[in-house]
Amino acid sequence: MKIAAIEPSQTWQIRHQVMWPDQPFEFVQLKEDELGFHFGAFEDEKLVSIVSCFFSEDEMQFRKLATLEEFQGKGIASELLKHIFKLAKEKNMAKIWCNARTNKKSFYEKFGMTDSHKIFTKEGQEFTIMEILL
Q: What is the pLDDT of residues 101-124, one digit of tens each?
A: 999 999 999 999 999 999 999 988
Identify the pLDDT of residue 123.
87
pLDDT at 117 (0 to 100): 94
DSSP state, 77? H
Long-range Cβ contacts of 64-68 (<8 Å, 24+ apart): 64/11, 64/15, 64/19, 64/28, 65/98, 66/14, 66/15, 66/18, 66/19, 67/14, 67/18, 67/41, 68/14, 68/17, 68/18
20-65 confidence digits (pLDDT tens): 999 999 999 989 999 999 999 999 999 999 999 999 999 999 999 9
The angle formed by the CA atoms of residues 77, 81 and 82, to the nearest 5 degrees, is: 115
